[in-house]
Amino acid sequence: MREHESVPTLEELEKLIGRRIAYLGHTWHIIEVLDDEMALVLQADDDSERILANSHGEPVRSLPDVINLPVVDTKSGGINPELKQITVLEEED
């Protein structure tokens, strides 16, 4: 994402909302920034999904996979090394 090791600001992260990224061999959309947790919320842009179950454990419907990616490394307090695995994809015209 960025070459230097400083933690991105909230404003820098918010500029990424709506962008497509490649991460962990999948394509994702950044759909939200959690400012309290300093995390990116990623929604799968491919066929990755999770099954939503009712209170009886029966499958009801499938939803796109969603993950939270912390921006700050809890051990060092610096930038999460996982962010280096993200590739921001060019916007399609």
Q: What are phi and psi of 61, to 5 degrees?
A: -160, 170
- The pLDDT, as a whole number, for residue 91 is 67
Q: Are 43 and 17 in contact (CB under 8 A)?
A: no
- The pLDDT, as a whole number, for residue 59 is 81
- The pLDDT, as a whole number, for residue 64 is 81
- The pLDDT, as a whole number, for residue 2 is 45
- The pLDDT, as a whole number, for residue 85 is 92
* Residue spans of the chain under pLDDT 50: 1-4, 93
